Amino acid sequence: MSTRTESFTKPWGREVSPWRDIADHEWNDVGWQLRNLVRTPEQLSSLLGIQETEMASLLRLRKQFRFAISPYYFSLIDREDPSDPIRRMIVPSSVEETGEGDEDPLAEKDDQVAPGLVHRYPDRVLFVVTSFCSSYCRFCIRKRNWRSSDAASSRSEIDEAVAYLRAHDEVRDVLISGGDPLTLPPEQLDYILAQVRSVPHIDFVRIGSREPVMLPMRFTDDLLRLLDKHGPLWINTHFNHPREVTEEAAAACEKLARLGIPLGNQTVLLAGVNDDAATIKDLFHRLLKIRVRPYYFFQCDRVVGADHLRTSPWKGVEIMEALRGHTTGLAVPNFMIDAPGGGGKIPFMPNYQVSAAPGRVVLRNFEGALFTYTDRGTDTGAAPAASVADLANGNSQRILPREQEHYRRRDAKKARAATKK
Ligand code: SF4
């Protein structure tokens, strides 16, 4: 699990990075990391050997989209591999210039009711409090904020948003997000949490943060005390690839878990990064080991400059099929599409309901075996089925796939037990 140990044999990790000679106390200092962000095409060129034509494109892109990478996160890149999955997520490339995609793919602006406050669902709101992140993902859905921010960043904007919350007692759940709220100056984060907490009908406060992934040294004792002061809180983080689950990230999540903060994770399905079942299963297992529950698995939104990272949504269904029943349910999140135009999150899952009739449903299990589930009082105890119609009609209870021997073993065992009686 640790990149620190893996990096002796693999071409990524701090030990093989340009920062290998930096003292531990500097590397582990969030201030040092922020002072040494990789943030220009020229730096990228010297670190990754960017070609001239690509450089020209990056110089143009710099005016359009923000760009920064913490040395910690950069060290996770395999610099020898131009298709490296971490690199695809964080390093800008000329393909972003195609212009495909929307500025605001989820139409959040249409549901904005106060500075930073998006009220789309009946009982919960999104509260965007900054447009700043320590590193900028190329697939971010709020790139529009990189140029002109919708975030509630001043005291008066925060107060205006909180006044809306006070006036709307149907709202009981606030997701504080950004940008990354945990990059805020402590006094500002303290103020926001205190104000939101002071609204009597707010039952849940969640924070969305990618800092456990991008900059795990962020979780200092001071920040942990601040979070503890405003608990109970929930934190949703955002790991996309198994290599992001490093020793440092694990330590950050451990600190949060010890504070009693439940940790959920959302993963975005990204072409060339995690679009295969083995990678996703490995990621979700690693997350469970560090007490982070895979919560949502998202189809990549149609945001401007990220078309090259999108897959077909059926790829997500295929991956979900490879998870459900094949590993612990704790490692099986919901695969969701955030509907364009502000339709909200919609589950897009494999279909396990094959057919239905009054009093019965026909179900498919993870192996492809079909079963009928009968409502109370309508079980006929009928003979084995020949077709799905027989299941739906209640003439049978199951159809078995070929080569699933254990069902036949179970039947034989039952038959032997019945004979003995
Ligand atoms: S950390 Fe989140 S908010 Fe920041 S750039 Fe990445 S996806 Fe966007």
Tell me: the pLDDT tens digits for 114-146?
999 999 999 999 999 999 999 999 999 999 988
CB 277 within 8 A of CB 148: no
- Ligand 1, atom 3, lies closest to the CA of 179
Q: What percent of the chain has pLDDT over 70?
A: 95
| Ligand 1 atom showing the smallest separation from residue 214 Cα | 1
- CA-to-CA dists, residue 76 to 31, 71, 219, 336, 412, angstroms: 19, 9, 19, 28, 53
Structure tokens at 176: 């504080």
- Contact residues for 401 (Cβ-Cβ < 8 A; gap 6+): 367, 368, 369
The pLDDT tens digits of the residues spanning 185-230 come to: 999 999 999 999 999 999 999 999 999 999 999 999 999 999 999 9
- Looking at per-residue pLDDT, the higher value among 417 and 108 belongs to 108
pLDDT band at 48 (very low <50, low <70, confident <90, very high): very high
Is the pLDDT at 406 greater than 80? The verdict is: no
pLDDT band at 377 (very low <50, low <70, confident <90, very high): low
CA of 399 to the centre of ligand 1 (A): 47
Model-wide pTM > 0.85: yes
Active site residue ranges: 120-121, 124, 133, 137, 140, 142, 301, 338, 345
Length of the chain, in residues: 421
pLDDT of amino acid 403:
65
* Lowest-confidence pick of 24-33, 264-273, 368-377: 368-377
CA of 179 to the centre of ligand 1 (A): 6
Q: What percent of the chain has pLDDT over 90?
A: 79
CA of 396 to the centre of ligand 1 (A): 51
DSSP assignments along 15-73, one per residue: GGSTTTTS-HHHHT-HHHHHHT-B-SHHHHHHHH---HHHHHHHHHHHHHS---B-HHH
27 Cβ closer than 6 Å to some ligand 1 atom: no
Residue 110 phi/psi, 5-degree rounding, is -65, -25
pLDDT of amino acid 117:
98
Is the pLDDT at 385 greater than 70? The verdict is: no
The pLDDT tens digits of the residues spanning 245-260 come to: 999 999 999 999 999 9
Mean pLDDT of 290-306: 97
pLDDT of amino acid 380:
52
- Ligand 1, atom 1, lies closest to the CA of 210
CA of 326 to the centre of ligand 1 (A): 31
Mean pLDDT of 267-288: 98
180 Cβ closer than 6 Å to some ligand 1 atom: yes
For residue 122, what is the DSSP state?
Answer: T
